[in-house]
Structure 1
Amino acid sequence: MNARTRALRSLIRLHKTKVDQAKAAMVEALASEHTARIQLESCQATIESERQAAMSEHVSMDDFRRWLPFGQEAVERAENTLHSASQASEQAREALMQANAALKAATSILDRRMEEEKEIATRRERAEIDDLSRRVRMMPG
């Protein structure tokens, strides 16, 4: 194996590491997005629960009106957190796609290189066989 092929193999190992790192980042980003979505749903459910309590007169409507801006603020913060988490997931997805593309490109180059080396070796073998064949024909018999 020549230096160029060794370098390509090293590059592929590096790209595989990058793919693994990108996958881990993607998993983490998706988990954060999921957590943010659950938090938003929880805040929205709390508002609905408090509204139902006020409607059924378990809580006064005035208390609900005073509390509602805080509940809406919590929903807004949760929406912002979810938006940020979704953007992070999209960036992680893009990074993973790029890492996979780079790995595929390096692998393709190595495959072509290995095929070229195989063709060169095959040509050398044929040349050796042809040379031996000529020598045998030239020998007095």
Structure 2
Amino acid sequence: MNPRARALQSLIRLRKTEVDQARAELGRVLAHERAAELRLAQSRQQLENEQHEVSAGRTSLGDFRDWLPAGREAIERAHRLVLEAQHMTDQARAGLTQANAALKAAEAVLARWQEEEREKEARREQNEVDDLSRRARSVFG
């Protein structure tokens, strides 16, 4: 195999590895984002539960007032974690997009090179046929 073809195929393997790694990273950050969203939903649900307990008379309004700042802080903290996770997800998606683009570019370079090689081979074969034809005409002509 031609050294250039080997180099291009090595580059393509490297790019495929990068795509695989970018996919894995995206999966990891998506799981992190889902976990953060779940924490936020649980924090909000806890607030609703505490409000219900006060409404039902099972918890005093004073106890609820004492708990409320911590409950709100938990919601705010969970919301910040969701935003951070969404940012990480956006970055991972961009990384995957870039990795895919680099792979496609390397594959396109290899495809163009292979086409050029086929064209060169076809021209060489045609030149051989033309040369044989000229020789035959000069011998039999």
Under a length normalisation based on structure 1, what TM-score does the superposition of the two structures give? 0.95
Aligned to 2:116: 116
Matched, 1:67 2:67: yes
Give the letter for the 2:104 counterpart: K
- Secondary structure of the residue that 2:59 maps to in structure 1? coil
List per-residue Cα deviations over 1:6-42 (Å, max 9, x = no partner). 1111111100100000000001111100110011001
CA distance in 1, matches of 2:13, 2:132: 42
> Which runs of 5 or more residues in structure 1 are unaligned?
none
Matched, 1:93 2:85: no
- Secondary structure of the residue that 1:139 maps to in structure 2? helix
Residue 134 of structure 1: how far off its partner (Å) = 1.5
Residue 138 of structure 1: how far off its partner (Å) = 2.0
CA distance in 2, matches of 1:27, 1:137: 69
What's the C-alpha RMSD, in Å, of the aligned pairs?
Answer: 1.1
CA distance in 2, matches of 1:123, 1:91: 48
Aligned to 1:132: 132
Structure 2 counterparts to residues 35-54 of structure 1, below 5 A = 35-54=35-54
- Secondary structure of the residue that 2:119 maps to in structure 1? helix
CA distance in 2, matches of 1:71, 1:136: 96
- Secondary structure of the residue that 2:58 maps to in structure 1? coil
Give the letter for the 2:44 counterpart: Q
Give the letter for the 2:39 counterpart: Q
List per-residue Cα deviations over 1:33-90 (Å, max 9, x = no partner). 0110011001001001100110111111111111111111111111111111111101
Under a length normalisation based on structure 2, what TM-score does the superposition of the two structures give? 0.95
> Which runs of 5 or more residues in structure 2 are unaligned?
none
Aligned to 1:6: 6
Deviant stretches of 4+, over 4 Å:
none
Residue 136 of structure 1: how far off its partner (Å) = 1.8
